[in-house]
Structure 1
């Protein structure tokens, strides 16, 4: 797991059939290119906006995972499009078409997503209804975002396999993948993030954000997740004390595999959650 700096590249190879098919579909569907300026940084961010086949005020904002792009979320974009929703899928800082040389693991990005939300409202009006959806780093991003002062148009959230905090995830990965101790690795990462990317990794806690969240939130996690350990979802779930909430631990699923392995059940749960909370 890369700790901070990234070139403008992302993981390649080994794409699943569902992602390949989704990307092919995304190339053919009508979509618009939206842009936004990053919060607190002079960076141009880019998103795909896929309008529903029939006009609607319901829009799902989709947050992708680490070293992925909006195109990797094409299967989920199609899922929401098929359900009759508009979809906005940004590339995070340092990913895809968006500018930036450093990855913030969702923390600075949460404020970028707030700007995307406000752009939806500006373009579609005060009657807009918005839902948030994220996978892996994107799951952490929407949880971080849940602790901000959100517009009333944001109705509900689904997070899939997001981590409890940047520190927790980096500590876990350092131990699991490289057998490295937490100290002095984490202080050096924190210093690099502060100097190079302009944020404090110790501030980035989904637990703290979820304590503030008031939006209905569905937590999803695979029972066999070895990248973001399944134990984290229980901590996140317990932290959401002020909101309607639900938890689905998908038996046998690995990291970010709940949707590919159980497409029909997943779609029913996620789309059903959004429809129940508009």
Structure 2
């Protein structure tokens, strides 16, 4: 065989192997669990003291630990903070590489609004098992089981809210698209969630690494299908919201460059029920609460008021 012919045959094989290796690296970078919570950086670092005071508040409450055996044999965990006598409850979806406890500021916020609070650790996070992160796709089924558990704990006359930020925002929107969602779910509030995982990964690869979608995202999707059983393209949050008729409030930072701001309006337009969109001026990713907690609470309270019974004072 001539040398030129040999090079012509082997070069595509080398390039293909190299591309697959790069796709594997990207997949592990994005999907592989880590056993620590990344430190806040950039603008978010300025809120560290306030954040840790909220964590201290939650940890000083009377917390219960709930366990769940998932439909596919995993074990996941959640913190349950019950508000005595309340029929309101919220499940709070955490962000990428966070945990339930990292949502302590939101837990405190909703507790003060009269809600019992469930803070799950999603698969691949915290004390829940799983080697890889499913970006809400498998978690959505776990959340359905958590919601039914909340109904069992509080009774069939309870009133439930779905809330999440970033990956957690996308997760609760995926849950909202499920036909088996308990009727006790009255509304959804999502903050800075992506409109599709394919779109989010494509955006971040271009922004962070100057890499094109093709062929890396399709190859990563193939790897994920082999490991977690679903394709990246299936994690379509906007498509799930097109099945949703419950009230939806979409919150998104107007200066978000991690989950780009335009994804918020995409999710807002997709939903079929009553809805509102709040683009928070000057807010970067997941910063909307920290800029003005009082305004954040006021927007949520105003939106959900028509769909929840008034809080009865204990006095």
Q: Which residue of 2 aligns with 1:161?
A: 192
8 Å CA contact 1:4, 1:189 repeated in 2: no
Q: Which residue of 1 aligns with 2:265?
A: 234
Give TM-score, length-normalised by structure 1: 0.96
Q: Which residue of 2 aligns with 1:17?
A: 49
Pairs within 5 Å for 1:65-214: 65-149=95-179, 150-214=181-245
Measured against aligned partners, the alpha-carbon deviations of 1:140-173 in whole angstroms (never above 9, x if no partner) come to 0011111102111000000000001110000000
Distance 2:172 2:140 in 1: 7
8 Å CA contact 2:121, 2:128 repeated in 1: yes
Q: Which residue of 1 aligns with 2:282?
A: 252
Higher helix share: 2
Gaps of 5+ in 1: none
8 Å CA contact 1:80, 1:271 repeated in 2: no
8 Å CA contact 2:34, 2:125 repeated in 1: no
Distance 1:82 1:237 in 2: 27
Radius of gyration: which is bigger? 2
Distance 2:153 2:169 in 1: 25
Measured against aligned partners, the alpha-carbon deviations of 1:106-159 in whole angstroms (never above 9, x if no partner) come to 111111100100111122221111000000000000111111021110000000
Deviation, 1:264, is 0.5
Measured against aligned partners, the alpha-carbon deviations of 1:54-102 in whole angstroms (never above 9, x if no partner) come to 4111101100000001111000000011111100110000101111110
Residue 75 of structure 2 is aligned with which of 40, 44, 48? Answer: 44
Gaps of 5+ in 2: 1-25, 309-315
1:272/1:17 CA distance change after superposition, 3 Å: farther
Deviation, 1:13, is 5.2
8 Å CA contact 2:34, 2:97 repeated in 1: no
State whether structure 2 residue 249 is matched by structure 1 residue 222: no
TM-align CA RMSD: 1.3
Measured against aligned partners, the alpha-carbon deviations of 1:172-221 in whole angstroms (never above 9, x if no partner) come to 00000001000111011101111112222111111111110011000000
Matched pairs, number: 275
Distance 2:301 2:67 in 1: 27
8 Å CA contact 2:93, 2:164 repeated in 1: yes
Give TM-score, length-normalised by structure 2: 0.85
Measured against aligned partners, the alpha-carbon deviations of 1:25-68 in whole angstroms (never above 9, x if no partner) come to 111011111111223x211111011011x411110110000000
Regions of 4+ moved over 4 Å: none
Range moving further from structure 2, 203-212 or 14-23: 14-23
Q: Which residue of 1 aligns with 2:92?
A: 62
Distance 1:139 1:238 in 2: 15
Query: Helix, strand or coil: the match of 1:225?
Result: coil
Q: Which residue of 2 aligns with 1:4?
A: 31
8 Å CA contact 2:140, 2:171 repeated in 1: yes
State whether structure 2 residue 59 is matched by structure 1 residue 32: no
Residue 293 of structure 2 is aligned with which of 248, 259, 263? Answer: 263
